[in-house]
Amino acid sequence: MDRSTEELVAVGNRHNSPSYSPRDVVMDYGKGVQLFDRDGNSYLDFVAGVAVNCLGYNHPRLVAALRDQTQRLIHVSNLYYTAEQIELMETLTERSFADRVFLCNSGAEATEAGMKLARRYQRVVADAPERSRMVSMTDSFHGRTMGAITATGQPKYHEGFKPLVPDFGYLPFNDPSALEDIDEKTAGVIVEPVQGEGGVRPADPSYLQALRERCDATETLLIFDEVQTGVGRTGDLFAYQGYDVVPDIICMAKGLGGGVPVGAMMATEEIFKGWKIGSHASTFGGNPLASAAAKTVLDVIEEDDLCANVRERGQQLREGIRSLAESFPVIEEVRGRGLMVGAECGDAASEIVDHCFEQNFLINTAGGDTLRLVPPLIVSESDVDEALNRLESALTSWRDAQ
């Protein structure tokens, strides 16, 4: 190690995009739920790359699959098949309602693809060119491309980027009385079953059912943005399965590659009739390295029954934080589903995150006022106990500092 951490951070701060503000720490390696910086400090990681590292760090199956894959083939383009890509698409469709998959590299690309498919389906298959309006929810988050920020129902993400994509509308999340606004001019509705960036807010099951019914009644396509909720995060492989509401289109990314960038948008054969050769594409989408990673992640989730672990550990975590809330009234509400857990703390949220960092416990905020805990899906009972201990120490030191 030639350069000190301070020197490296200074260089990083000189060259990094000003849209980021990482902590003054340089991470070096990880093992399970632990992350280690280059100065030898270890952290209990309940950020998990922002709900990405679902198998934790250094998972032997994922490492072996990637090692094998890099030695054979990293990329070939979508001009040719690879067995890895075919088997990933087969697995995704076998375990969901979908027949076909469009593979891409990120969440924004997956939501963008979903909205493009909805619009083209209405225009080309349903022969309804007047249906171009896309509807999303207040406090939603769908990514950072122009289409995805337009769908994102939070004005702060629009600042300085207008004009946005035309013909979008926003409905209050979880409010069935507003669903009348979905009508014969609407191409599609995009919704997160559990809002992530907006503050870890689960949809009410009755709301998603009413939304499905309204979409059916008006022949509008229902797009579930499962970029954060998908791949086991909520205790089902896809959150729609736990809600028992089947969308027309589903978008995913984050956990899918266990840290390797990969996204996917899926739908039925009928909906995919909206696209023909060349309608949409991605150079890197579904390359063999990403596909090998995603196939391994899906296999491990099933073989190790990680969804059961997610449900149990999620309950343990929520109950533990609820009992901390009795001593720390700064915690106003505990929400979530599976291992997507939020604790609303008002203006104190980011200070508490800083105090957690002092305890070598990594969490972050969502919606500005909510602590978000999204550990790897492999987290153990004792990891959750340790997380609750560190959260208690952080809350105590935050309280002492007031």
Where does this chain bind ligand PLP (CB under 6 A)? 106-108, 111, 141-143, 192, 196-197, 225, 227-228, 253
Rounded to the nearest whole angstrom, what is the least distance from the CB of residue 60 to ligand PLP in the complex?
26
For 20, the token pair is: 């980021």
Nearer to ligand PLP, 84 or 225 (CB): 225
The residue with its CB nearest to ligand PLP is 107
CA angle (22, 103, 239) in 5-degree steps = 75
E strand or H helix that includes residue 333? strand 333-337
Phi, psi of 258 (to 5 degrees): 60, 20
Burial of 390 (0-12, 13-18, 19+ CB in 10 A): buried
Nearest residue (CB) to ligand PLP, 106 versus 174: 106
Secondary structure E strands in 192-234: 194-195, 201-202, 221-225
User: Which residue lies nearer to ligand PLP by CB, 101 or 108?
Assistant: 108
Find the farthest-apart pair of alpha carbons in the chain and give their distance in angstroms, rounded: 65
The nearer residue to ligand PLP, 14 or 156, going by C-beta atoms, is: 156
Tokens 């396509």 — which residue?
221
Query: Cβ 140 to ligand PLP, closest distance in Å?
Result: 8
Residue 253 CB, shortest distance to ligand PLP, in Å, is 5
For the bound state, the minimum distance from the C-beta of residue 329 to ligand PLP, rounded and expressed in Å, comes to: 29
Residue 257: closest CA among 97, 29, 59, 398: 59
Minimum CB distance to ligand PLP, residue 4 (Å): 31
Q: Which is nearer to ligand PLP, 374 or 395 (CB)?
A: 374
Q: Residue 192 or residue 344: which is nearer to ligand PLP going by CB?
A: 192
Q: Are strands 100-104 and 263-267 parallel, antiparallel or unpaired?
A: antiparallel
Question: Please, what is the minimum distance in Å from the beta carbon of residue 148 to ligand PLP?
Answer: 7
Dist. CA 204–CA 176, nearest whole Å: 10
